[in-house]
Amino acid sequence: MELYQRTASDLARMIAAKAVAPSEVMAAHLARIAKVNGAVNAVISLRDADVLMAEARAADDAQPQGWLHGLPLAVKDLCATKGLRTTYGSPLFADFVPAKDDLLAARMRAAGAIFIGKTNTPEWGHGSHSFNPVFGVTRNPYDLSRTAGGSSGGAAAGLAARMLPVADGSDMMGSLRNPAAFCNVYGFRPSYGLVPGDAEGDTFLATLATEGPMGRSVEDVARLLTVQAGANPEVPFGRTAEDFADRLRVDLRGKRIAWLGDWGGAYPTEPGILALCEAGLQVFGDLGTAVEALQPPFPAAKLWQAWTTLRAMLNAGGMKALYDAPKKRAQLKPETIWEIEQGQSLGAQAVYEASVFRSRYYAHMARLFTRFDAVVLPTAQVWPFPVEWRWPQSINGVAMDTYHRWMEVVIPISLIGLPALSLPVGFGANGLPMGMQIAGPVGADAAILGMGQAYHEATDWPAKRPPAL
């Protein structure tokens, strides 16, 4: 097996045992990038190969500092990286080179990662289709005419195409989960607070988004999460880190899963997706888990209203300075302007009512988790769609009234910060990948990863069906 085909955990073990050198790992991945990235466009702002090889050779003889020692890593382009261009997919920041790392990048760098470049993302992370005016579009390694999803589309495509051994991402509205499903890899949205951000802007109200790990194995996801996790004392709602890889062995006998499907028909879903997810659930059944189909626990329309209100409020507040400057506003994508204007039209009472509804939903789900260990939904409502589209306009004849309505299935998880792992469930008749998301109560990150590990050992879709590139 070629080095670029191995998981990050395998490579880390090989480096630790001196069976392979970081410089060999780097050379293999740079060669792979040179071969396939021109078609996929997942890795952007790639650093000079000679410089990278020099850093890798220095790591050959250096004392390992952490699990990522000597591994090549491309950081999502929404995360600031010291000395490495960070654009946020926006022409306003096309030449921006940060003077310091964001906390996430700093933790991964401290664990020994060698930053080779960035991974592509939609402008400002808005929308689950990774295209922007700075770097263009990221294509799906399984079908280059299709999207890789987003906003962590570059990360997912880079993993699937074997250009990266492991990857970081972020998730507000499915941005770790959706591209994982579209690219046949794993994406994990941690419990809110487990992977903290920097003490910048609002840190009390902005609790919808989080950063997290992606990988071709659950072990890789767990090990990267261990690097990323741990409270930032300057930021509220922090959670204690643990060795998540050490807790992957879980006996599924006696576990209970609630299957929520398409939320009682509220979420239009393209043909074949639910059937694949149900086949994936059968794997859990074969492993001793009881699976029960449930009616929707809360009204979808109210979940959507609460979500869009809180999201718009945060976008309007956080991006006000760009919107208020006419020349800068002219360079914002239409979807971003729409988000800001939606937020500017809100009153305090609407925001309060959305937060109250969110609170009641959290309490309801907490009660549900006294009966079930996890809930499962499809990760996406559509198959990877043509790269020429900005977003799907309809699903099964049902018109999508916003640029993100077609992603609504992720809202029940995101709204209340549940830990959720997107699991590959195989391929449709169209040859395209899909996934399902398994989520548990806040704080049950290790338990959900353990359930994912048992599923991975029984299926291993990423290794079973790599892309033909």
Provide CB contacts within 8 A for 385, sequence distance 6+: 129, 146, 147, 392
Backbone angles phi, psi at 211, to 5 degrees: -95, 165
**CA triple 311-231-250, angle to 5 deg:** 90
- C-alpha R_g of the chain: 21
Q: Is residue 448 part of a domain?
A: yes
Q: Is residue 212 part of a domain?
A: yes
The catalytic position among 23, 45, 152, 175 is 175
pLDDT of residue 411: 98
Is 76 a known active-site residue? yes
Q: Is residue 162 part of a domain?
A: yes
Q: Is residue 469 part of a domain?
A: no
The catalytic position among 23, 45, 130, 151 is 151
What is the residue type of 186? Answer: Y
Going residue by residue through the chain, which has 469 residues, state the pLDDT in tens, using 9 for 90 and above: 999 999 999 999 999 999 999 999 999 999 999 999 999 999 999 999 999 999 999 999 999 999 999 999 999 999 999 999 999 999 999 999 999 999 999 999 999 999 999 999 999 999 999 999 999 999 999 999 999 999 999 999 999 999 999 999 999 999 999 999 999 999 999 999 999 999 999 999 999 999 999 999 999 999 999 999 999 999 999 999 999 999 999 999 999 999 999 999 999 999 999 999 999 999 999 999 999 999 999 999 999 999 999 999 999 999 999 999 999 999 999 999 999 999 999 999 999 999 999 999 999 999 999 999 999 999 999 999 999 999 999 999 999 999 999 999 999 999 999 999 999 999 999 999 999 999 999 999 999 999 999 999 999 999 999 999 9
pLDDT of residue 435: 98
Q: Is residue 152 part of a domain?
A: yes
Cis peptide before 394 (omega within 30 of 0): no
Dig out the tokens for 122 from the structure.
């939609």
Q: Which range of residues forms the domain containing residue 285? A: 3-464
Instruction: Read off the pTM.
Output: 0.98
Is the separation of the CB atoms in 232 and 199 below 8 Å?
yes
pLDDT of residue 219: 98
pLDDT tens, 144-181? 999 999 999 999 999 999 999 999 999 999 999 999 99
The catalytic position among 76, 118, 255, 333 is 76
pLDDT of residue 343: 97
pLDDT of residue 236: 97
Q: For the domain that residue 88 is a member of, what is the CATH number?
A: 3.90.1300.10
Q: Is residue 103 part of a domain?
A: yes
Q: Is residue 353 part of a domain?
A: yes
Number of domains in the chain: 1
Q: Is residue 300 part of a domain?
A: yes
pLDDT of residue 129: 98
Distance (Å, rounded) from C-alpha 451 to C-alpha 418? 15
